[in-house]
Structure 1
Amino acid sequence: MRVGILSYPMLFQRDGGLQIQVRETVAALNRLEPAPPCHLQVELVDPTRDRLDNYDLIHVFSAINGNYRIVELASELGLPVVLSPLLSPGWGRSSGILARLAERLAGKLTAWNVQTSYAQSKRALQLADLVIALGDAERRAIMAGFQIDPRKIEVFPNGINPQFFCASGDLFRNTTGIHAPFVLMVGAISPYKNQLGLAQALASLALPIVMIGAAKRQDQSYLQKVLRLPRVTWLGALAHADPLLASAYSAAAVVALPSQGEVFPLAVLEALASGTPVVMTTHSALELPGADFALKKVRWDDAAAQRRAIAALLGVRPDRQAVRALVSHFTWERVAGQIAGCYFRLGGREGLRRVV
């Protein structure tokens, strides 16, 4: 079976959680050795050179940014389509109703020449043969907000690279000279990620803050506002495979992700894999039963709650091995095996064009 992986054209012009998810999923799928007569070849599709009908199955990552057109074309060609929509868990019944009202209003006002992003995402979800959610919260959002049949939704979380489970903080401390306890924030520097809000919330604790991540041109002034606060250090962007990133997670006293919303944040999984507790936004699809001792969820705009949660984790440091155990089952190999099983089941049901 030859599987083509696609997303929006500009995806790999920067690095982030989705880029890592796509690359690691492709790599892990190609490491699998399915039992004969099953064969699997997975590759990124270059839409400027490769035709979709050269593949047996198409897997699309993200339901936004015009990706519904990929799903439409693959469906027209008779190809089985898997969709990983990466939708906000904030979608629910009421927000879905409002979005559909807005969709109809926009259509009527423009003679149906304008589509809302909601309408495009819903069409992709409807046309896909299988939808993969990263967690139960995203699954509920897909059902309630977009009215999708739960029978075609599977839940497979992201994986975690092995280097985070065996990371040590020594490299970070020796490289930066930061030996005191600090709070680490990893991700793009932007108002949506809310680094400024957290830095202001922690000002009274006299606690060092270290930020790792790129800042776009339009967010440079925001970055400077954050850096003007005391005890804030910015290390710039680090490659995902850079040993300094894994070491930073391990060296931190607490990792914070106070953003306005996340689907299934790899930064949180990687921090926990390194044994470091996390304070993160409540607006996320990530759910870890029994993780309250090491994973605190607070509203992104509740500075007092963020400060209390971080102080609590600093006061009673959870056992590092117990923290790691929370995510020990999150491996890319396990995820790849689950996804490959879906490919073969879907391909068998739909009838493949050929077997490679």
Structure 2
Amino acid sequence: MRVTFATRYDGWLWYGGAETQAAQTALALQHLGVEVEFFTPLTHQLGTIVHFFGMYEHYKPVAHYCRRRAVPTVLSTIFYHRYVSLSNVFRAMRWMIQARLGRLRKHPRLGLLWQVNYLLPNSQTEARQLQRLFGIPDTHITVVPNGVETRFAHATPELFRERFRVNEEFVLNVGRIESRKNQLRLIRAIRELGVPLIILGQVADPRLYKQCLEVGKDLVRILPPLPHDEPLLASAYAACRVFALPSLLETPGIAALEAGVAGARLVVTPVGGAKEYFKHYAVYPKPTSVASIREAIAQAWSRPHDAAAQREHLLNNFSWERVAQHTLQVYQRCLREAGICK
């Protein structure tokens, strides 16, 4: 079986969760004997299946090409809509009405929902939103969770502590410096607690970065992002006392999965399906409340912590090997329904 992966055209410049999801799914599928290639402007022949990651306008001509040639397609939606303002509520209502009238099928981005054979949301929460907002039948939805590499279970703190001369206990955040990642509220919560915070992330919003530096002062260190395969990143997860990802939205946050496997105590946003992954092992703050983030970090910092049980839970349920197995089952179903042999 040969599969073509389509990802955001500039995604590897920023390399976030969606890119990790695509790259790690590809590697795990290859271990199962599936040939995986990534779509580029030079691609002249597609695989027996095309797998889209995220909903982007530039996928539209590729999806149209696949439909005309009966090439099965699946979409990892990586979608969640937040009801945090009247405008967001009205947008959701408009989508619901337009979807039921068939008017979203030509939408440059959302139209992809109706052009593929199956949708692969990362959680039941995401799946329910797709059904509620867009009327997608559950027969066209299969939940395939995000995954985590087992190598993070073997991480040790010494490498990171020695390289960056970190001796004290600290809170870690990993993610692009942008409003969705909510670092400014996290820093304000840290200031009230008086504990050190280290942020590893690429600056996507220079103005926000400047604010973070001004508010954080001596308690906050913002370091450049570490390559995903860099042992220093795994060591950073193992070195921190608390890993905090109080984002405005995550589906569910691969960095939090990695930190959890490395043994860190977890503070994770409840918005976007994280509770399905982390269960009682994480503390879930209200991401728009500095006080709630502060209290969640304080609770995670001081409460009893069973790192081994947390690690076992995450690896047993969310390894990339399991993700690849779920994904391959969907591919095989697509091929059977299309009358194509594996």
Q: What's the TM-score, normalizing by structure 2?
A: 0.90
Contact 1:273 1:327 in 2 (8 A): yes
Deviation at 1:150, TM superposition (A): 0.6
Deviation at 1:103, TM superposition (A): 9.0
Contact 1:64 1:117 in 2 (8 A): no
Residue-pair matches, total? 335
CA RMSD after TM alignment: 2.6
Name the structure 2 match of 1:7. 7
**Which blocks of at least 5 consecutive residues in structure 1 are unaligned?**
34-39, 105-114
Name the structure 1 match of 2:47. 55
Superposed CA deviations along residues 153-183 of structure 1, whole A, max 9, x for unmatched, are: 1111122112211111111111222121111
CA distance in 1, matches of 2:132, 2:179: 28
Which residue type is aligned with residue 153 of structure 2? F
How do 1:1-356 and structure 2 match up within 5 A?
A: 1-33=1-33, 40-46=34-40, 48-52=41-45, 54-88=46-80, 90=82, 96-100=92-96, 119-216=107-204, 219-228=205-214, 229=216, 230-288=218-276, 291-292=279-280, 294-329=281-316, 330-352=318-340
Superposed CA deviations along residues 122-143 of structure 1, whole A, max 9, x for unmatched, are: 3211121111111111111111
Name the structure 2 match of 1:107. none
Deviation at 1:89, TM superposition (A): 5.3
Deviation at 1:336, TM superposition (A): 0.9
Q: What's the TM-score, normalizing by structure 1?
A: 0.87
CA distance in 1, matches of 2:267, 2:190: 13
Deviation at 1:95, TM superposition (A): 5.2
Which residue type is aligned with residue 60 of structure 1? F
CA distance in 1, matches of 2:225, 2:277: 32
State the secondary structure of the residue aligned to 2:275: coil
**Which blocks of at least 5 consecutive residues in structure 2 are unaligned?**
none
Distance 1:95 1:282, change over 3 A: farther
Distance 1:297 1:341, change over 3 A: same
Deviation at 1:100, TM superposition (A): 5.0
Superposed CA deviations along residues 194-236 of structure 1, whole A, max 9, x for unmatched, are: 11111112212110000001003xx223212212323101121
State the secondary structure of the residue aligned to 1:327: helix
CA distance in 2, matches of 1:232, 1:118: 46
Contact 1:158 1:266 in 2 (8 A): yes
Distance 1:321 1:4, change over 3 A: same
CA distance in 1, matches of 2:326, 2:153: 22
CA distance in 1, matches of 2:143, 2:24: 17
Structure with higher helix content:
2
Contact 1:288 1:326 in 2 (8 A): no
Q: Report the identity percentage.
A: 28
State the secondary structure of the residue aligned to 1:298: coil
